[in-house]
Amino acid sequence: MGLVSMVRGGDFNKKYGNRLMQARIATQAITVLLLILFYFVREG
C-alpha cells in the first residue's frame, strides 16, 4: 500500500507515506525476530 501511494503521489502520500513505510519496517523487524526466536526454540 505504501509503494502504491508513493507511485501515485498526491495528498494521501504526503499525509501517510512516511507512516506506511515505518509500519512496513516495523512488521519486517517483528518477522525477523520471530524467525530467530523460532530457530532457537526449535534447536533447544
pLDDT exceeds 80 at position 38: yes
Residues 23-36: what's their mean pLDDT?
96
pTM comes to 0.67
Residue in the block written with cell 504526503: 14
**Structural domain count of the chain:** 1
Which residue range is the domain that position 29 belongs to?
Answer: 2-43
Pick from 26, 6, 30, 29: nearest CA to 16: 6
Residue that is written with C-alpha cell 513505510 in the block: 21
Start-to-end C-alpha separation, the chain:
38
The pLDDT of 10-33, averaged and rounded, is: 90
